[in-house]
Homo-oligomer: A and B are copies of this chain.
Amino acid sequence: MSRISSRSTFGRLEAGPHTGLCRQSLTDSDREVRDWFLQQAESLGCQIKVDEMGNLFAILPGEDNSLPPIGMGSHLDSQPAGGRFDGILGVIAALQVLKTIKENGIKTLPPLAAIDWTNEEGSRFPKMCAGSGVWAGTEGLSECHDLAAIDASPDEAAPPTMGSELRRINYIGSTPCSYLQNPLSAHFELHIEQGSRLERAQKKIGVVGGIQGMRWYTVHCQGTEAHAGATPMDQRADALVVLAKFAVKVEELSLQEGAFGTVGVMRTKTNSTNTVPGGAFCTLDLRHQIEGVLDRIETELRAYLSQLTTSRSGITVLMGRTWSKRSVEFDQIARDCVQSAAVNIVGESMVMDMVSYAGHDSAETATVVPTAMIFVPSKDGVSHNPAEYTSEEHCDLGAQILLEAVLKYDHHLRRTTTASL
């Protein structure tokens, strides 16, 4: 097995805590890192493709360059007050894999591609995973090009859009942004966990089985305003009590089902200390890896609200789903490649099966090509914060496993390509 030649690179990431990064998508700072990425890729002899969304593909030739590359992608953009690991680790590791492959004279069957996906963060242009989303066909190219920057001044005649900013920094390419015209054989992504499950369990590597589904709801409750000092408790139509019980039930069911349930916003509409609230509002954020569990919780919550409104006269509740993202289950073969690479390198006791709580470019690629992810620990679970930190050891192990997983997938392709001959 080839050792990844990464230590010096990841050592630069590890400059100490509280040294964050502000590199929002398609800014001058993003252009600079893109220039650096392409320079690295060219020095490895890679072929470069820039697509219509500014996604960068650094392609190292394989034995059969008619086959779609095995991709290793993540993103180089950050949150406005972000860290130096979220996304960036995956792209640097991909370059390191290419370098190691090249230095060791290894030839994979298909080419390999290190990929920088555009605007994963969605912070400057409010659409997460825009680049990988258009590539996978889940987002529209022109809608994304027309998306205005949220930091645009409201009186600007022509506020910057993704399209105008891609042109401005000269990163709008001619390669079609589509998995059909610019395909991959698979997509592997190394990423920091952005949580503390690995750290708490004292594990080194997470094998990510998928990305949990998310559903957002708003709940409006209408009762009747009444005098707080004269309306008997059993004759009230108190909208707040109903939503308070709802929030308690959300916690109870989420604990029971191992889901995430959050009432993030709650407010009464009347706002008088001595008036029984006639109206109340809350939001709900519900997440779980299994759509069936989300369905069950949603059904139970609706039944609970219905039971509350039946037992209290004069109350109506409207619970509406405002947004959802289906859960993603990663490809079994790609996961097996990651799993067996991880066990080989850190030993079974250091490996944890997990789902990703956050969204990633891999959620998009998984809809069209075999995809898998590798997680490494985040110190204290901190992310989207300058204090974000992953040790050099863990970055190094992650890159090593990325390399080996890709080689295992190459092996799988060789077997199946041969078998189909």
Contacts and interface: CB of A to CB of B under 8 A. Distances in A.
B273 A358 contact: no
Given A268-B265, A274-B264, A285-B229, A248 B244 contact: yes
A63 to B, nearest CB: 41
A340 to B, nearest CB: 27
A45 B229 CA distance: 41
Contact of A273 (B251, B265, B267): B265
B358 A229 contact: yes
A245 B241 CA distance: 9
B228 A287 contact: yes
B280 A285 contact: no
Contact of A241 (B194, B231, B248): B248
A261 B261 CA distance: 28
A232 to B, nearest CB: 8
Given A216-B273, A254-B233, A283-B273, A228 B264 contact: yes
A349 interface: no
B229 A212 contact: yes
Interface in A179-238: 194-195, 212, 214, 216, 227-234, 238
A277 interface: yes
Interface of A is mostly: mixed
A240 interface: yes
Contacts of A240: 247, 263-264, 266
Interface in A346-401: 357-358, 381
Contacts of A234: 255
A263 B244 contact: yes
A240 to B, nearest CB: 6
A245 B251 CA distance: 11
Contacts of A241: 247-248, 251, 263
A159 to B, nearest CB: 24
Given A262-B274, A273-B264, A381 B230 contact: yes
A313 interface: no
A299 interface: no
Count the copies.
2
A247 B238 CA distance: 11
Given A228-B262, A240-B247, A268 B267 contact: yes
A164 B255 CA distance: 63
A266 B287 contact: no
Nearest to A254: B233
A272 interface: yes
Contact of A268 (B227, B264, B276): B264
Contacts of A214: 229
A363 to B, nearest CB: 12
A329 to B, nearest CB: 17
25 contacts: A194-B230, A195-B227, A216-B273, A227-B357, A227-B358, A229-B285, A230-B381, A233-B251, A240-B264, A244-B245, A244-B247, A244-B266, A262-B273, A262-B275, A262-B276, A264-B270, A264-B275, A264-B276, A265-B268, A265-B271, A265-B272, A265-B273, A266-B266, A273-B285, A274-B285
Interface of A: 194-195, 212, 214, 216, 227-234, 238, 240-241, 243-245, 247-248, 251, 254-255, 259-268, 270-277, 280, 283-285, 287, 357-358, 381
Q: What 3 A-B pairs are tightest by C-beta distance, nearest first? A: A230-B357, A244-B247, A228-B262
Given A216-B274, A264-B272, 15 more contacts: A212-B229, A228-B262, A228-B264, A228-B285, A233-B261, A238-B262, A262-B273, A262-B276, A263-B268, A263-B277, A264-B270, A264-B274, A264-B277, A266-B267, A274-B285
